[in-house]
Amino acid sequence: MTAVELGLDTFGDITLDVSGARVSDAQAIRNLVEQGTLADAVGVDFIGVGEHHRPDFAVSSPEIVLSAIAARTERIRVGTAVTVLSSDDPVRVYERFATLNAISNGRAEIILGRGSFIESFPLFGYDLSDYEALFEEKLELFSLLRTEKPVTWQGTTRAALNAADVYPKTEGGFRAWVGVGGSPESVIRTARYGYGLMLAIIGGSAARFRPYVDLYHRAVGEMGREALPIGIHSPGHIAETDEQAWEEAYPGFEAQNNSIGRERGWPAYSRLRFQQEAGPEGAIYVGSPETVATKIATTIRTLGAGRFDLKYANGTLGHDKLMRSIELYGTKVIPLVRDMLSE
């Protein structure tokens, strides 16, 4: 358990500057590169950057941002959180990640998903009625491309391939996961195609995901697949004390949830809901290094996870606070978690 990987995720949120004004998309991206560089310096294992096509997130091309981070770092693994495979082309996705893997000297990995936002579908000319077929077929094709051998494939969502070879070739492949929000069918699909399972736990107790972990292990065994790690993705923020972390984080969580909630018909976000999720049974990892480390270690033990990624950017919280959170995560939380897991 002490060998568990501890990473960070971000969607490149548009934050507020010290005067309370929104930063530009360009500045948010430059800030993200600086955050990734710091994460490497303080010992974080992984930095994941999400793909979105909406005004509250700056990153629509994560691989470019990750290449910038890779060029400025030495050891941290770089990947997505997630790549929306359904509205992209598997061949181009594979080529971009093979290129990122070369730039990073083998540190690239990809988390594939259907996406919890749908803006990319009309943007790139896809019909939402094909939501399931798009992901199923493209995941199958991507799995074939991972062999780095000529691919023959036919489906309904893109042109067929006949002994097609794809370049550049890697020096040993790259790790790939599928992001899952809690569907048994998605868990079984992930096992069938031989991907690591990345659980997006953004509400409620992590313990309720244990049946999905057990299902994944059973499916991997029945299909004769290699045992692969379980990962967890959950939001949070770290400051010197619990109270400071709560006060810093809440406005950003409120702004983000209310912005998305207006589109999806959610009730207004409340401080009570925030504090419940920040408690021992909730999905928000907000507090002092000791509080966050204890909660992470408990979650890892509960689910038998091999990786935990803290989504450290949530809404409008400023760059300076994000940098401090990353510093505390690397210098305080990670050593504490490793100590707790060694007991």
> In sequence order, what DSSP letters do the residues of 51-78 get, joined into one string?
---STTB--S-HHHHHHHHHHT-SS-EE
Angle ∠(60,114,314) on CA atoms, nearest 5: 55
Q: Strand locations in the chain, DSSP E?
A: 5-10, 46-49, 77-80, 83-84, 108-113, 151-153, 161-164, 175-180, 196-200, 230-238, 285-287, 307-311
Lowest mean pLDDT among 98-102, 113-117, 274-278: 113-117
User: Each residue of 205-260: pLDDT tens digit?
Assistant: 999 999 999 999 999 999 999 888 899 999 999 999 999 999 999 999 999 999 99
**How is the chain split into domains, by residue range?**
5-342
pLDDT of 101-133, one tens digit each?
A: 999 999 999 999 998 899 999 999 999 999 999
CB–CB of 201/233 below 8 Å?
A: yes
Cα–Cα distance for residue pair 177/229, rounded to 1 Å:
9
CB 251 within 8 A of CB 258: no
pLDDT score at 2: 55
Nearest to 181 by CA among 111, 267, 276: 111
Share of the chain above pLDDT 70, in %: 99
Q: For residue 286, what are the β-bridge partners? A: 237
In the predicted model, what is the mean pLDDT of residues 336-340?
Answer: 97
**Confidence at residue 31, expressed as pLDDT on a 0 to 100 scale:** 98
DSSP 123-164: HTT--GGGHHHHHHHHHHHHHHHTTTS-EEE--SSS--EEEE
Tokens of 154: 């036919």
Q: Report residue 268: phi and psi, to 5°.
A: -60, 140
Burial 189-205 (b: 16+ CB within 10 A, else e): bbbbbebbbbbbbeeee
* Residue with token string 């030495």: 74
Written as six digits, the tokens of 92 are 């181009």
CA distances for 213 relative to 111, 124, 207, 210, 308, angstroms: 17, 34, 10, 5, 14
CATH number assigned to the domain with residue range 5-342, chosen from the 4 options 3.40.109.10, 3.20.20.30, 2.40.50.100, 3.30.56.10: 3.20.20.30
State the average pLDDT for the chain.
97
CB of 237 within 8 A of CB of 312?
yes
For 169-216, write each residue's pLDDT tens digit: 999 999 999 999 989 999 999 999 999 999 999 999 999 999 999 999
List CB contacts of 20: < 8 A, sequence separation 6 or more.
Answer: none
Task: Specify the DSSP class assigned to residue 24.
Answer: P
